[in-house]
Each structure stands twice: as C-alpha cells, then as structure tokens.
C-alpha cells in the first residue's frame, strides 16, 4: 500500500494545478466556453498519456541503455532542484508559461499539456516514484491512479479557472507556485541523497 498523501503532494507540487490556472486563462482568452472546455479536456488527457508513458516505459528505457535507476534518481533530483529554484527565484510558472503562448497555435498541447502540466519535473517524478525494485505492479497502479487524480484536480481547476483567478489573482497564483517550488526543492534534495545512498550500496 502506497502513502497516498505523500504521493499526492509530490505530484501536486510538480504538476502545480494552481499555477496552470493563469496559463489556461491567458491562452484561452477570447474563446467561446465550448472551446475552453475542449482545450481543458485535451490538455488533461494528453498530459495523462505523456506521464503514463513515463510510468510504464521510463525505467525500461533506462535499463535498455544501461543507466542505473540510482544514477537517474540523482540526476533527476538535481534537475528537479533546479526546476524548483526557477519557481522560487526566477519567473513564476504562470509568468513564464504565459509567455510561451505566442509561439504555438495549438494551445492545448503547448504550452498547456507540455510544459505546463506534463512538465520535466512531473515526468521525472513519474519515473522515480514507480521504481520496479521498490514497488509491485499493484503499487505502481495506485501511484498512477494518484497521478491521474492530480490531473483530474488540474482539469477541474481549468474548468473553474475564471472563478479561481478572480479569487487569488495573479499575485496569489505566483505565491502558491513559489510555495510549491519550496516543497519540490525539499523533495529533490531527498531524491539526490537517496540516489547517492543506493548507488554506493550497489
């Protein structure tokens, strides 16, 4: 049995549903309600497919090219930590990803599905949380289910984006994104330490 709360918090931090709200509002501004719903649904299921791909095949690909999961955990932790630092000290997620909308025609895929929802951090977390050596198939299914639950929350927030943004505003979204960055930095440091420990036990 997995720790549902811990797993949910990790995925919530890396996917950052709250930070996705202002991105969604910006890239769908001026569109009809039907289009907004279609974009939200498409972004959610594309993100789910991408992250499920990493859960199912991520570790197999690593094994195929001879990279131990401990090395990937260390590298992944470092990347997650750098990603968290950008959330803390750089542009916040909403500010950074809203700027990407000018470069894309299909906003459901880019920047919403990738990199806003299925971000590099969430891809790495999907692999690290479902290591075959530590989790049985049923536990991996539960972890995937927890991830899909977070994606469901993200979809719900996109559907209620106008109401949420009216309450928290751009400043609130930025603050919450930075709080998620602090949590993610702690998770990343833990991954690095555990990866080093596991590597030297090989």
Residues 121-151 have pLDDT tens digits of 788 889 889 987 788 999 999 999 999 999 9
What domain range is 40 assigned to? 4-201
- Rounded to two decimals, the pTM is 0.74
Distance of CA 29 to CAs 94, 155, 156, 171, Å?
Answer: 15, 17, 18, 19
% residues pLDDT > 70 (the chain) = 89
State residue 103's pLDDT score: 38
Count of structural domains within the chain: 1
Average pLDDT value for the chain:
82
How much of the chain is helix, strand and coil, in % rounded to 5? 85, 0, 15
Please, which pLDDT band fits residue 104 given cuts at 50, 70 and 90? very low
**With 0-12 CB in 10 A as exposed, 13-18 as middle and 19+ as buried, what is 149?**
middle
> Would you state the pLDDT for residue 98?
56
């Amino acid at each position: 049995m997995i720790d549902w709360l811990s797993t949910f918090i990790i995925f919530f931090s890396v996917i950052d549903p709250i930070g996705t709200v202002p991105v969604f509002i910006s890239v769908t501004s001026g569109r009809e309600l039907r289009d907004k719903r279609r974009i939200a649904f498409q972004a959610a299921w594309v993100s789910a497919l991408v992250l499920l791909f990493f859960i199912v095949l991520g570790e197999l690909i690593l094994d195929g090219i001879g990279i131990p999961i401990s090395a990937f955990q260390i590298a992944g932790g470092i990347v997650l930590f750098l990603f968290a630092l950008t959330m803390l000290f750089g542009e916040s997620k909403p500010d950074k990803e809203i700027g990407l909308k000018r470069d894309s025609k299909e906003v459901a895929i880019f920047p919403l599905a990738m990199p806003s929802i299925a971000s590099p951090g969430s891809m790495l977390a999907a692999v690290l949380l479902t290591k075959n050596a530590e989790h049985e198939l049923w536990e991996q299914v539960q972890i995937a289910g927890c991830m899909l639950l977070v994606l469901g929350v993200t979809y719900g927030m996109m559907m209620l984006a106008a109401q949420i943004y009216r309450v928290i505003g751009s400043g609130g979204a930025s603050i919450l994104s930075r709080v998620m960055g602090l949590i993610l930095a702690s998770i990343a440091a833990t991954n690095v330490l555990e990866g080093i420990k596991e590597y030297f036990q090989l």
